[in-house]
Amino acid sequence: MPSEQSSGGKRHLEAITKAGNGRARRLLVEGAHSYRYPANVSTELQLRQEGLPKDIVDIAWKAQLRLCKRYQRMSKKGKHYNLIITAIAREMAAYIWAIAKEVLSKVSSAYSSNK
């Protein structure tokens, strides 16, 4: 569970808590390990993205660029490896939420236009 404290225009992102699904948290952490490598789109990934809407692919690419850069920046600062991976996993959860929100808005707009 990523936590956040918001008040007015201020937003403070907090740590990943142990609330929520442990399996999902583990998958996020395992997925965060891939951001050690430079951002790229492999041929396998291109094939998976073929049927997806462009705005969802754009969010995913933006996430990949940002998280790879963030990993490198934190690593150069000398942060502990586990801290880096957890921070990347936390932000990855936020990007997954953004993609899910985009998909739901598309589904609800398609549903309302069919009525």
pLDDT band at 42; cut points 50, 70, 90: confident
Interval 74-110: pLDDT, tens: 999 999 999 999 999 988 988 888 888 888 887 777 6
Interval 43-77: pLDDT, tens: 898 898 898 888 888 888 999 999 999 999 999 99
Neighbouring CB atoms inside 10 A of 103's CB total: 14
- Of all helices (H) and strands (E), which one includes residue 64? helix 54-76
pTM of the model: 0.74
2: pLDDT strictly greater than 70: no
Ranges of each domain in the chain: 2-114
Separation of alpha carbons 30 and 92, rounded Å: 11
For position 71, what pLDDT does the model report? Answer: 96
For position 64, what pLDDT does the model report? Answer: 92
For position 4, what pLDDT does the model report? Answer: 66
Over residues 4-33, mean pLDDT:
81
